[in-house]
């Protein structure tokens, strides 16, 4: 659980109790846990992406700099993607690299849970998707063109059915 100034908290009993899990004093904007290794956690503040490989006992700055971070997500292989004020970044063998969508404010990012290489990027002006690990992108679907996307999730009982949390200014 990311907080707005008290760092991370975790629960080991389905949410009945919560204990501090590091980054005390930080505003956490996004959290991603590796589905295959829940000790591996990424936490994003607006200016840094942190990683823990021991369930939050220790945290390390991953070195993403020079951008405002809005979202973090992991694909099926555990590769992290960061949505920023300058598109999407991902960690390659040499560290963080700009992947795509230069100049776009990517406010939400998610990897499809059952389709390797499928990545979704929610932006302030709609949704983008890639089916080849972010090498090429398309705007989709047309119903969300121009609509700010704040979150993306998948129905665990029907992964083909993506849910998009949209923000509409009235």
* pLDDT, tens only, 78-135: 999 999 999 999 998 889 999 999 999 999 999 998 889 999 999 999 999 999 999 9
Give the rounded distance of the alpha carbon of 3 from its chain centre: 15
Report the phi/psi class of residue 144: left, alpha or beta, with left for phi > 0 and alpha for psi in -120 to 50.
alpha
Distance, in Å, from the CA atom of 47 to the CA atom of 31, rounded to the nearest integer, reads: 14
pLDDT at 170: 36
Q: Taking Cα atoms as reference points, which of 5, 12, 9, 51 lies closest to residue 28?
A: 5
pLDDT at 154: 82
Sheet holding 30-33, edge to edge: 30-33, 41-44, 49-52, 60-61
Contact yes or no for 147/136 (Cβ under 8 A): no
* pLDDT, tens only, 42-89: 999 999 999 999 999 999 999 999 999 999 999 989 999 999 999 999
Residue 168 has pLDDT above 60, yes or no: no
Place of tokens 């080991």: 12
pLDDT-based confidence at 39, cuts 50/70/90? Answer: very high
Mean pLDDT of all residues in 142-148: 88
Distance, in Å, from the CA atom of 27 to the CA atom of 46, rounded to the nearest integer, reads: 8
Q: What phi and psi values does residue 143 have, to the nearest 5 degrees?
A: -65, -20
Distance, in Å, from the CA atom of 99 to the CA atom of 127, rounded to the nearest integer, reads: 16
């Amino acid at each position: 659980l990311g907080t707005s100034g008290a760092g991370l908290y975790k629960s080991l009993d389905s949410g009945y109790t919560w204990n501090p899990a590091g980054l005390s004093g930080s505003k956490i904007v996004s959290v991603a846990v590796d589905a295959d290794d829940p000790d591996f956690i990424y936490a994003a503040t607006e200016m840094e992406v942190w990683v823990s490989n021991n369930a939050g006992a220790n945290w390390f700055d991953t070195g993403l700099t020079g951008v405002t971070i809005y979202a973090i997500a992991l694909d099926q292989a555990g590769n992290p993607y960061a949505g920023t004020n300058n598109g999407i970044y991902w960690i390659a063998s040499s560290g963080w690299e700009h992947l795509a969508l230069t100049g776009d404010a990517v406010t939400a990012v998610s990897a499809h849970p059952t389709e390797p290489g499928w990545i979704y990027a929610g932006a302030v002006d709609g949704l983008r998707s890639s089916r080849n690990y972010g090498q090429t992108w398309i705007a989709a679907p047309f119903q969300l063109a121009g609509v700010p996307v704040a979150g993306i999730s998948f129905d665990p009982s029907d992964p083909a059915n993506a849910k998009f949390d949209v923000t509409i200014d009235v």
